[in-house]
Amino acid sequence: MSRNTDEILPLTGLRFVAALYVFAFHIHTRWPLAEKGSYVANFLNEGAVGMTLFFILSGYILAYTYAEKNISPLMFYRNRFARIYPVYAVAALMTLPWLFKNQFSEAFFFAALQIGILVMADTLMIQAWFPQLWAFWNNGASWSLSTEMFFYALFPLLLHAAARLNKAWLVSAMMGVYVLSELPGLSYMVFEPRSTDGLQIFYAMPIFRLPEFAMGILVYFASGRVRESRLLRMAASPALLLLVVYLATFGSKIPIFVPNNWIVVPVIALLIAYLATCDTALGRLLSMGIFVWSGKISYCFYSFQFFVIFSFLEVRIYLPDKGLIVFCSTFVILLSISAIGYHFIEEPFRRRLHGRRAPRDSVVSV
């Protein structure tokens, strides 16, 4: 794959599209944006599959960023910490008031122990491994960052392994991780009784989302070999249209989102390879300044969304019962906070933690 730039602009723009889809989903579940049962409502109800896009995209861009760089695992971890943790910590502090709105034990000792466990788990970014913590504090939003940290821990090993695969083994590996990405959700659907914590386990637990991240790494190496594939051009647009139609019609009938990976994972993988390797109208659109800038602030946009949503829920009785008005209001506020967070927290801390001349680590962070 040609490296004319340190950044693949269409994929940067795609980051914001994914973040916006997830945000719209979170608003829609609280303030409906479309009539129940409509195609639009069904599509919005499946916004959680946007996390699959994030995870695959994360694997792809990390591979793109580091595959040809002689960088030690320690430096990689340092770069990731500089990129992720400052905004993560600020988001945790911003939502701290809601920690004490949770229902803790009436016994002081156990309440203090519960709070201590929450603080420790969130500080170490391991909360996604504990399904019972899902409903507390900001864990319903920050679980994905906990999951990403697990991916980062394994990335140097996964990258080294993927780089050594020949074409046949690369195809076999992609087929294997595709099956593994679908297996947890499929097993949840076909076996009874179903766990009441299915969402927290099969959707949010890092080990079950690892195949999606691995798929992104493998797609990077595969797309680097096919380059401007004619078949890729012919298949990408119809596949994306098929996915949208599927989510708007059948997706909402599937519980806990991840069983939809049977179609979501291959289409997203195809879309990423398409945008990264082909000069297309969609790619040029996503490369426009507004999309690229929005993509750059998308990590803050994702991280701070629950602070805005929680705040609006606090004054819900004073708000008009119109989902579109709430969505537009929260979007403008969140976009403003995200821009401030990116320019005054994310970027300054990144430079401070690993130097102004360090290679830019423009990687999907959520």
Residue 361 lies in a domain: no
Residue 258 lies in a domain: yes
From its phi and psi, is residue 137 left (phi > 0), alpha (psi between -120 and 50) or beta?
A: left
Provide the pLDDT for residue 362: 45
Provide the pLDDT for residue 354: 61
Provide the pLDDT for residue 227: 56
CA nearest 294: which of 8, 20, 5, 6? 20
What burial class does residue 133 get, using C-beta atoms within 10 Å of its C-beta: 0-12 exposed, 13-18 middle, 19+ buried? buried
Tens place of pLDDT per residue across the chain (366 aa): 334 467 899 999 999 999 999 999 999 999 999 999 999 999 999 999 999 999 999 999 999 999 988 889 999 999 999 999 999 999 999 999 999 888 899 899 999 999 999 999 999 999 999 999 999 999 999 999 999 999 999 999 999 999 999 999 999 999 999 999 999 999 999 998 888 899 999 999 999 999 999 999 999 999 876 655 677 888 999 999 999 999 999 988 899 999 999 999 999 999 999 999 888 999 999 999 999 999 999 999 999 999 999 999 999 999 988 999 999 999 999 999 999 999 999 999 888 876 554 444 444 444
| Cβ atoms of 76 and 53 closer than 8 Å | no
Residue 66 lies in a domain: yes
Residue 130 lies in a domain: yes
Residue 221 lies in a domain: yes
Residue 363 lies in a domain: no
Counted residue by residue, the chain has a size of 366
- Three-state SS string over 253-310 comes to HCCCCHHHHHHHHHHHHHHHHHHHHCCCHHHHHHCCHHHHHHHHCHHHHHHHHHHHHH
CA nearest 291: which of 87, 3, 6, 20? 20
Provide the pLDDT for residue 226: 61
- Three-state SS string over 132-171 comes to HHCCCCCHHHHHHHHHHHHHHHHHHHHHHHHHCCCHHHHH
Sign of dihedral through CA atoms 25, 27, 28, 34? negative
| Cβ atoms of 115 and 136 closer than 8 Å | no
- Domain span holding position 48: 9-354
Residue 2 lies in a domain: no
pTM of this structure: 0.94
Residue 241 lies in a domain: yes
Provide the pLDDT for residue 269: 97
Number of domains composing the chain: 1
Provide the pLDDT for residue 321: 84
Residue indicated by tokens 């360090």: 358
